[in-house]
Amino acid sequence: MKKCVESKWNSFTSAITLISSLLLINVVGCSSSTSDEPDLTRPNVIIIYADDIGYGDVGAYGANPELIQTPNLDKIAENGIKFTSAYATSAMCSPSRYSLLTGEYAFRLPGSGILSAEDPLIIEPGSFTLPEMFREAGYRTSIIGKWHLGLGDEVGTLDWNAAIKPGPLEVGFDESFLLPVTNDRVPTVYVDGHYVHNLSPDDDPLLVAYPEEGHHAYQEERFGEYDDPADVHQPLVGDLPTGLSHPELLLYPADVQHSGTIVNGISRIGHMAGGQSAWWDDEEMPFEFTRRSQDFIKENRDNPFFLLLSMPENHVPRIPHPDFLDTSPLGLRGDTIHQFDWVVGAIIETLEEQGLADNTIVIFSSDNGPVLYDGYDDGALENHMYHDPNGPFRGGKYIAFEGGTRMPTLAQWPAGIEAGLVSDAIISQVDFLATFAALTGVEMRDGAGPDSQNLLSAFLGESELGRVEVVQQSSDGLGIRKGKWKYIPPSERSDWAYNRHNMGDPNPMHIEELTSQAYLFNLDEDPGETLNLIEDYPDVAAELAELLDEIVNGK
């Protein structure tokens, strides 16, 4: 089995051949090309977006090759540019995805926390989004994979047996094939365009329900508790087994929040009934998304295209395909990172086969930092072998420290980005909208992308000048980085995220909980954010507090 995976990796990595001795090309202002030259104003763009993969999980960023191997991601770093100060806007998934597509910090939008399947679409239909901008430039646009930005127009009213809209097709995508929420939540079905994929009319109606408690409140109140089997909660819909009622059916245990309906041996958040003809196979999911992405590339080889391939790795539950099982000594978490890297190789191989690699921008990044335990006893704690998924940084998913939002970010474009570059320019995923609008020559609409900055020169490796400042959202509120300084305002902190990270002994994710005081760190001297300098540099803290207030309140 392991040899099978290695042969797949080798076939993909050997297919990645790039033109050598490329000169850095200034794209701004180019508007013409010959039949033998790529049109540098309209390259294809593919964003391969990971879930919960951290800075230290990638070989190019220092991952131990004896524990994790990412040859295809590492090739992107070798053939393009590696960013060392690139950020998601949030340490949580839905807000990061919102910002990437809209060019707006998600903290500006009420209700933009971690969404459930009962939450409506949080992007305004018809707005000037990243895919809509590409469409205006003449691109075909598609999203394949995780969505997690809401569907429908009212809370709790979506009928999964009818047309599911508004959704991606109403915000700029020509095509969509979705994991609608997360792989640990119901419904465990794909949504193809406006309809549940493979839902048989002969099946019982697909019903979905969530507990009334809010996402975070439920975690905080019920963290780690298990009900007495004699007093188990009945499913909110249907009568299918749950993790609480039938723990003997589980591949591995889960906390109360994740102990809803059991699918493929894993209990999920929420309850579901009916629609079993459409339920996905977790192990086949990476192949399903890869095949569809390859088909999209082939179908549009003669036209410019934008593809957002949004993979669920390394989000829980971690159920790698048997081809990748036991390929990492870190257990399931390492196996799924290997699986993700294989997907990256498969996409790049398809570009090579279609003759599209030279003029296609391939970007890899992640939506937020890593977490070992996130509701499932899947062995991630026991098998971590001192692997630090955050590399030199502190924190992780949900947390205001750098590990929550500073993301591994790589880009290759043989026709436009010199190979082997490393950039410390501060960039954010919120900047993709203005940056690609500048590249394609599309004019930004009035009021669109209010937080997005044109960082094309930094993105192409022409300049080390990126953002002056970047805002970071977390479960504890906001933080801000300006140059070498990082400021976290005083706030009441919630302990649920720290509970998530501080399990297991020994545990490399052990994170001291923030107190309610303010924090100031010098990231140049202290990238791990271990020394609070708030009392030593009060003027710096005051300046950053004022800047953050201006950004948040528009003063």
Per-residue b/e over 487-511, b at no fewer than 16 CB within 10 Å?
bbbebebbebbbebbbbeeeebbeb
14 vs 285, higher pLDDT: 285
> Is the pLDDT at 40 greater than 80, yes or no?
no
* pLDDT at 510 (0 to 100): 78
If we measure between CA atoms, which residue out of 256, 310, 354 comes closest to residue 144? 310
Q: Would you tell me the crossing angle of helices 432-440 and 93-102 to the nearest 10 degrees? A: 30
* Per-residue pLDDT band at 19 (split at 50, 70, 90): very low
The DSSP 8-state label assigned to residue 529 in this structure reads -
234 has which bridge partners?
Answer: none
Instruction: Return all residues near 37 (Cβ < 8 A) that are at least 6 apart.
Output: none
Is pLDDT above 50 for 118?
yes
Q: Is the dihedral of CA 122, 127, 129, 132 positive or negative?
A: positive
Give the model's pLDDT for residue 36: 56
Sheet containing 477-482, strands listed edge to edge, beginning at the edge strand earlier in sequence: 469-474, 477-482, 485-488, 519-522
The residue among 82, 109, 84 whose CA lies nearest residue 96 is: 109
- Identify whether the C-beta of residue 358 lies closer than 8 Å to the C-beta of residue 28: no
Q: What is the pLDDT of residue 438?
A: 97
The mean of the pLDDT values for the chain is 90
Residue 228 is predicted with a pLDDT of: 52
Residue 342 confidence (pLDDT) above 50: yes
User: Model confidence over 346-361: pLDDT tens digits?
Assistant: 999 999 999 999 999 9
Written as one letter, the residue type at 297 is I
Q: How far apart are CA 4 and CA 97, in angstroms?
A: 34
Average pLDDT over residues 140-152: 97
> Where does the pLDDT of residue 15 fall: very low under 50, low under 70, confident under 90, or very high at 90 and above?
very low
| Separation between Cα atoms, residue 464 and residue 455, nearest integer Å | 10
Strand ranges, E, within 399-553: 409-412, 421-423, 427-428, 469-474, 477-482, 485-488, 519-522
pLDDT tier for residue 493 given thresholds of 50, 70 and 90: confident
pLDDT the model gives residue 233: 61
Predicted pLDDT of residue 555? 52
Residue with tokens 């993909």: 12
pLDDT in tens, 253-306: 999 889 999 999 999 999 999 999 999 999 999 999 999 999 999 999 999 999
CB 145 within 8 A of CB 292: no
Q: How confident is the model at residue 504 (pLDDT cuts 50, 70, 90)?
A: confident
Per-residue pLDDT tens over the stretch 463-476? 999 999 999 999 98
List the domain boundaries for the chain: 2-14+46-199+280-470, 207-273
pLDDT value at residue 506:
75
For tokens 């809803």, name the residue: 260
Neighbour-count burial of 35, counting CB atoms closer than 10 A to its CB (0-12 exposed, 13-18 middle, 19+ buried): exposed
The candidate with the shortest Cα–Cα distance to 429, out of 138, 159, 38, 83, is 83
Q: Which of 191-205, 338-352, 507-521 has the lowest mean pLDDT?
A: 507-521
Across 363-383, b (16+ Cβ under 10 Å) vs e yields: bbbbbbbbbbbbbbebbbbeb
Give the pLDDT confidence score for residue 212 in this predicted structure: 72
Which overall architecture, per CATH, does domain 2-14+46-199+280-470 show? 3-Layer(aba) Sandwich (3.40)
Per-residue pLDDT, 404: 96
Contact in structure between 170 and 201 (CB atoms under 8 Å): no
CA separation for the pair 242, 261 (Å, rounded): 4
Instruction: Taking each helix axis as running N to C, give the angle between helix 332-353 and helix 285-299, from 0 to 180 degrees, rounded to the nearest 10.
Output: 20
Instruction: Assess whether pLDDT exceeds 90 at residue 147.
Output: yes
Is there a contact between 473 and 481 (Cβ–Cβ < 8 Å)?
Answer: no
Residue range 208-263, pLDDT digits in tens? 998 875 544 544 444 445 455 444 567 889 999 999 889 999 999 999 889 999 99
In single-letter form, the type of residue at position 46 comes to: I
pLDDT score, position 348: 98
pLDDT for 72 equals 98
SS3 label, residue 362: strand
- 185-189: average pLDDT: 97
* pLDDT at 12 exceeding the cut of 90: no
Q: Read off the pLDDT of residues 344-401 as tens digits, 9 standing for 90 and up.
A: 999 999 999 999 999 999 999 999 999 999 999 999 999 998 899 999 999 999 999 9
Q: Can you give the pLDDT at residue 530? A: 95
Residue 46, pLDDT above cutoff 60:
yes
Write down the pLDDT at residue 260.
Answer: 93
